Structure 1
Amino acid sequence: MAFGTPATVALDAQGITFTAHPYENRTTTTEFGAEAARELGIEPARVFKTLMVSIDAEMVVAVVPVSGLLDLKALAAVFHGKKAVMADPIVAQRRTGYVVGGISPIGQKTAHRTVIDETIALFDTVFVSGGRRGFDIELTPHDLARATRATIAAIARDSNRH
């Protein structure tokens, strides 16, 4: 088990193959996904960040490329919800069992409904947090969706549009 995080333990338990990618985490950053892309030498569109969102008081997981932004309205529409807001970081940490900057969509302490942005299909493999800062895991889009029981939908928007 690489690093033995809840994410890697969950993947091992499901028989899902992944590649561990540790990198040096610079604790001064708040752009953890962008840092992972830079440190690992990967295009940012291929590195996906995990965001916790409250939709009509239900906590859900959104997984979007670090090169884009989460479209809260689009995410709410996936769940037929009225209002989506970013979760408080303390609540996100408590519900997932991970620290901000190391929240993995896999192996969370409490299971949440998960949506992955459709751009995941553009790649043979993608990167997500492995459950701690400075540790990403690489796996196929199919395996990520299977491990998280995710829905795939258009929930990201270009970071250059406002």
Structure 2
Amino acid sequence: MLKSVVGMDYSILRDLLAAGKWKEADEETMRVMLCVGEQEKGGWLREEDIHNFPCEDLRTIDQLWVKYSDAKFGFSVQKNIYQSLGGTRNYDVKIWNAFGEKVGWRKGEHPGGLYYEEISYMEALVKAPDGHLPKSTPSLMWVRVILCLISLFSRVETCQL
């Protein structure tokens, strides 16, 4: 189940998820994605990095989140929610804001429609809405975050997750 095209070790992520350590698992998800995308120093994935992200590695990360959250969390869960709201590869502020509200990321009129700082990891499995995690994004700016997540959902679809 811990397959990787690039030899990434996903055992730490698996163990954190199995233990219900959601915050640490979220941070580990960002770390492994940066490593797989060879962007550890840059600290963010560009759209082209996401476009070329190995499907097998993306599948492994997603399957771990889906398995240990009883299908409540994961990139495929997020992608399905995004698409159910009419989301496509093109950015639409109304759809993006609806997505943020649906997964519990949006609070008020924060720029970009997302407000990560107050997202609670405590009792995430019980209280958080479907698709709430993972939320850590290897990015620096809100516009980049949005474009990267839309690209990620597109990649998840391409990888048939």
TM-score of the alignment, normalized to the shorter chain, above 0.5 = no
TM-score, scaled relative to structure 2 = 0.28
Structure number having the greater helix percentage? 2
TM-score, scaled relative to structure 1 = 0.28
Structure number having the greater strand percentage? 1
